[in-house]
């Protein structure tokens, strides 16, 4: 039997790509996905290059797999994702035991590449950008997912000075509207109740319609809300530059869209935003938030922050801290700046030492954590609508699910509730989760 072990790093887009790989390999029952590394004879590494030393992390992992291949030469090792696209044939040079290198847009070719590697004992590489071809191979999942992600577009045209995504995922291209709706309808038929719309710059979506028109992101959300079975809609990730008024209006008229938004800002300093080539100002961002609060008064905002970007002064960092307090962000993904090969920012002079960067990150994350806990405490005693996803791993025979504002709640219930929405009263607040009782 062909036992496949898949390791995935990175964003939700990478997780989605890996789920596509699983569906493709399981299609004809030729492959069995396993979590037992000793059982596997095919190893797939789906990589991310967003952080510093991503390449080294990949080769360290491959080195561990090399030991297994030394014991069993029939093992096939495949490397995909952003690092694969970025490094290409260099992976073979540094790790000559790797059999396959595939890109972010060519994962659908992996089954044939595996056959070639097995039969002919020849290396295979395909890191081209055949646009939306991979989405022709989207299959109904065999496993029921009550909350499912679906990619509606690929790539990014923004070319922020720090970001490698346009080079590893290509330019923005939107999937046809009908294709997206068809896939979501299929998911709804298999039990999905919450849909997460994915894209590197999801609010830039412009999908072609059946009659040759254009469906914009705001219209797509409304169409998704009309699909039977879909009761909750999320999306990630947005760019403030294209967070237009028509999207804000969706928050007024589409209650299935959650009152929670992840909108990356990256810095609270206009000077740093300019160096990042983000093409908006702090004032622009704040204007969007004020409009959103007007449309949906109970909305909560999370964001991304890069600390220690080249040229960031103490005053710039202070402005970021002040902005976090002003907007009262709920959560964040925050990191020390990592120079990515080939990006304009990698050529900038780095004016901060690592100790200072770590201190700034610590201050920022402590502030965000304090605000997150404050938002959670506001939920104490409230009744929340929970999508029940299964049994909690940490508490025996208790169920868990997510609130609209993306918090995990643990509570007692029955198996019949799994896959449905239930009302739960919040009775305990923890740092990373909540507890409640059924109402």
Task: For the chain, 439 residues long, give each residue's pLDDT as a single digit of tens.
Answer: 799 999 999 888 889 999 989 988 988 768 999 999 999 999 999 998 877 677 788 999 999 999 999 999 999 999 999 999 988 999 999 999 999 999 998 999 999 999 888 888 889 999 998 878 888 877 777 778 899 999 999 999 999 999 988 888 888 999 999 999 999 999 999 999 999 999 999 999 999 999 999 999 999 999 999 999 999 999 999 999 999 999 999 999 999 999 999 999 999 999 999 999 999 999 999 999 999 999 999 999 999 999 999 999 999 999 999 999 999 999 999 999 988 888 999 999 988 999 999 999 999 999 999 999 999 999 999 999 999 999 988 777 799 999 999 999 999 999 999 999 999 999 999 988 999 999 9
User: What is the pLDDT, as a whole number, of residue 170?
Assistant: 87
User: What is the pLDDT, as a whole number, of residue 1?
Assistant: 77
Q: What angle do CA 141, 100, 343 make, to 5 degrees?
A: 90
User: What is the pLDDT, as a whole number, of residue 267?
Assistant: 98
Distance CA 367, CA 370 (A): 5
Q: Answer yes or no: same fold for 133-376 and 380-438.
A: no
User: What is the pLDDT, as a whole number, of residue 130?
Assistant: 81
Helix (H, G, I), strand (E, B) or coil at 411: strand
Determine phi and psi for 34, rounding to 5 degrees.
Answer: -130, 150
User: What is the pLDDT, as a whole number, of residue 188?
Assistant: 95
Q: For the chain, how far is it from start to end, CA to CA, in angstroms?
A: 49
Helix (H, G, I), strand (E, B) or coil at 237: coil
User: What is the pLDDT, as a whole number, of residue 139?
Assistant: 72
User: What is the architecture of the domain spanning 380-438?
Assistant: Beta Barrel (2.40)
Q: What does the chain come to in residues?
A: 439
Which helix (DSSP H) or strand (DSSP E) does residue 275 occupy? helix 270-275
State the angle between helix axes of 177-189 and 217-225 in degrees (0 to 180), rounded to the nearest 10.
30
- Binding-site annotation, residues: 11, 48, 82, 156, 160, 163
The region that residue 209 occupies, defined by phi over 0 for left and psi between -120 and 50 for alpha, beta otherwise, is beta
Q: Would you list the domain boundaries of the chain?
A: 2-126, 133-376, 380-438
Structure token pair of residue 329 = 């962000």
Q: In sequence order, what are the residues at sequence separation of 6 or more whose Cβ sits closer than 8 angstroms to the Cβ of residue 81?
A: 9, 10, 14, 17, 45, 46, 47, 48, 49, 103, 104
Q: What angle do CA 188, 25, 140 make, to 5 degrees?
A: 10
- Binding-site annotation, residues for [4Fe-4S] cluster: 11, 48, 82, 156, 160, 163
Distance CA 48, CA 82 (A): 5
CATH code reported for the domain at 133-376: 3.80.30.20
What's the pLDDT tens digit per position in 186-225? 999 999 999 999 999 999 999 999 999 999 999 999 999 9
User: What is the pLDDT, as a whole number, of residue 129?
Assistant: 87
Superfamily of domain 2-126: Methylthiotransferase, N-terminal domain (3.40.50.12160)
Q: Which residues pair with 195 in a beta bridge?
A: 148, 233
Distance CA 395, CA 375 (A): 24
Cα distances (angstroms) measured from residue 161 to each of 272, 277, 337, 346: 11, 6, 12, 8
User: What is the pLDDT, as a whole number, of residue 403?
Assistant: 96
| Lookup result for tokens 């090399």 | 66
């Amino acid at each position: 039997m062909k036992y496949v072990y898949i390791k995935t790093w990175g964003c939700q887009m990478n997780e989605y790509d890996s789920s596509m790989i699983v569906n493709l390999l399981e299609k004809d029952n030729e492959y069995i996905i396993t979590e037992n590394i000793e059982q596997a004879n095919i190893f797939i590494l789906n990589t991310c290059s967003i952080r510093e030393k991503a390449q080294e992390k990949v080769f360290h992992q491959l080195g561990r797999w090399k030991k297994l291949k030394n014991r069993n030469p029939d093992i096939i090792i495949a490397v995909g994702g952003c690092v694969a696209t970025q490094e290409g044939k260099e992976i073979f040079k540094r790790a000559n035991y790797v059999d396959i290198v595939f890109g972010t847009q060519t994962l659908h070719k992996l089954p044939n590449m595996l056959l070639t590697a097995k039969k002919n004992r020849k290396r295979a590489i395909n890191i081209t950008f055949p646009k939306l071809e991979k989405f022709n191979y989207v299959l109904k999942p065999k496993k029921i997912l009550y909350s499912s992600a679906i990619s509606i577009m690929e790539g990014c045209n923004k070319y922020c000075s720090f970001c490698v995504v346009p080079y590893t995922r290509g330019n923005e291209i939107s999937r046809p509207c009908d294709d997206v709706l068809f896939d979501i309808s299929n998911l709804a038929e298999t039990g999905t109740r919450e849909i997460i719309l994915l894209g590197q710059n999801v609010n830039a979506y412009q999908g072609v319609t059946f009659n040759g028109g254009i469906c914009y992101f705001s219209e797509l959300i409304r169409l998704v809300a009309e699909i039977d079975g879909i009761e909750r809609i999320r999306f990630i990730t947005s760019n403030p530059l294209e967070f237009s008024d028509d999207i804000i209006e969706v928050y007024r008229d589409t209650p299935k869209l959650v009152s929670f938004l992840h909108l990356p800002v990256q810095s609270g300093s206009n000077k740093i935003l300019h160096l990042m080539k983000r093409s908006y100002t702090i004032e622009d961002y704040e204007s969007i938030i004020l409009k959103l609060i007007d449309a949906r008064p109970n909305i909560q905002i999370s964001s991304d922050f890069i600390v220690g970007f080249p040229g960031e002064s103490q005053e710039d960092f202070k402005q970021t801290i002040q902005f976090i307090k002003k907007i009262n962000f709920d959560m964040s993904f925050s990191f020390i700046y990592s120079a990515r090969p080939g990006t304009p920012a990698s050529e900038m002079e780095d004016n901060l030492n690592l100790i200072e960067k770590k201190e700034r990150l610590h201050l920022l994350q402590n502030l965000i954590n304090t605000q997150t806990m404050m938002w959670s405490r506001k939920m104490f005693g409230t009744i929340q609508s929970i999508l029940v996803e299964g049994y909690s791993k940490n508490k025996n025979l208790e169920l868990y699910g997510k609130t609209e504002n993306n918090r995990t709640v643990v509570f007692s219930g029955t198996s019949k509730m799994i896959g449905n929405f239930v009302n739960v009263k919040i009775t305990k607040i923890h740092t990373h989760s909540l507890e409640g009782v059924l109402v």
